[in-house]
Structure 1
Amino acid sequence: MEEKKKRPAIPENVKRELWIKSGGRCEFRGCNKYLYKDGVTKQPRNLANIAHIVSWTPTEPRGNQNSEKLATDISNLMLTCSEHNNLIDDPRYVEMYPVELLQQYKREHEERIYRVTGMGQEYGVRIIKMFSKIQGQVSIIGDKAVSEAIMPYYPLESDIIIDLTQVEDVTSAQKQIERAVDLHIKSNSNEESYSVFIMAKIPYACYLGYALGNKVKSVSHQFFRDTQDWKWRDGEFGHFYVSKPKVEKTEDEVNLLVEISGNIDRRLVPNNIMYSIKAENPGFMFIQSKEQLLEFQIKFRELLNEIRDIHGEEVKINLVIAAPNPISFEIGKCIMKNIDPTIILYDKVDNEVSYQNVMCLHSRIRRE
Structure 2
Amino acid sequence: MSWRTLNLGEVAHIVGRGTGVRSPRGEYPLDPSLREDADNLVLLCADQHDEIDASEGLDLFTVEWLRRAKQEHEDRILHVTGLGPDRATTVLRMVGPVHGREVELSQQTAAAAVVARDRYPLFLESYTRHGIEIDLRGVPGESPFARSMAPQTAVAARDYYGVAGRLIDNVVERQLQPGVASDAVRHVSVFGFARLPLLVHLGSQLDDTVPTDIYQRHREDESWVWRDGDGPTVEFTTLVDQDVPSGGEAVLVVNVSGTIGMREVPVAQAGLRRWEIRPVGVPTGPDIMRDRGCLERFTAELRGFFAGLEVDAKTLARLHVLPAVPMSAAIALGRVHHPQVHPQLVVYERLAGSYVATLTVGGAGAGAGTAALGSSGRGV
**Which TM-score applies when normalising by structure 1?**
0.79
Within 5 Å, give how 1:50-89 maps onto structure 2. Answer: 50-57=11-18, 58=20, 59-64=22-27, 73-81=37-45, 84-89=48-53
Does residue 1:138 correspond to 2:102, yes or no?
yes
Tell me what 1:289 maps to: 291
Tell me if the contact between 2:340 and 2:362 (Cα under 8 Å) persists in the aligned partners. no
CA distance in 1, matches of 2:243, 2:37: 79
Deviation, 1:358, is 0.7
Tell me if the contact between 1:56 and 1:70 (Cα under 8 Å) persists in the aligned partners. no
Counterpart of 1:355 in 2: which secondary structure?
strand
Deviation, 1:337, is 2.3
**Which TM-score applies when normalising by structure 2?**
0.76
Gapped regions of structure 1 (runs ≥ 5): 1-36, 38-42
Tell me what 1:261 maps to: 257
Tell me what 2:119 maps to: 153
Within 5 Å, give how 1:1-368 maps onto structure 2. Answer: 48-57=9-18, 58=20, 59-64=22-27, 73-81=37-45, 84-150=48-114, 151=116, 152-158=118-124, 159-168=131-140, 169-188=160-179, 189-190=182-183, 191-235=185-229, 236-245=232-241, 247-270=243-266, 271=270, 272-279=272-279, 280-349=282-351, 352-363=352-363
Q: How many residue pairs end up in the alignment?
A: 323
Deviation, 1:231, is 1.6
Tell me if the contact between 1:316 and 1:343 (Cα under 8 Å) persists in the aligned partners. yes
Deviation, 1:97, is 3.2
Deviation, 1:84, is 4.5
Aligned CA RMSD, in angstroms, stands at 2.8
- CA deviation digits over 1:302-354, x for unaligned, max 9? 222323433324431001111111000000000112210111111123xx322
CA distance in 2, matches of 1:225, 1:46: 45
CA distance in 1, matches of 2:167, 2:286: 28
CA distance in 1, matches of 2:64, 2:53: 15
- CA deviation digits over 1:166-202, x for unaligned, max 9? 2241111111111111122211112421111111110
Deviation, 1:102, is 2.0
Counterpart of 2:354 in 1: which secondary structure?
coil
Tell me what 2:149 maps to: none
Equivalent residue letter for 1:264: I
Gapped regions of structure 2 (runs ≥ 5): 125-130, 141-159, 366-380
CA distance in 2, matches of 1:332, 1:146: 21
Counterpart of 1:285 in 2: which secondary structure?
coil
Tell me if the contact between 1:347 and 1:356 (Cα under 8 Å) persists in the aligned partners. yes
Deviation, 1:147, is 2.5
CA distance in 2, matches of 1:201, 1:44: 50
Q: Which has the higher contact order (CA 8 A, sep 6+)?
A: 2
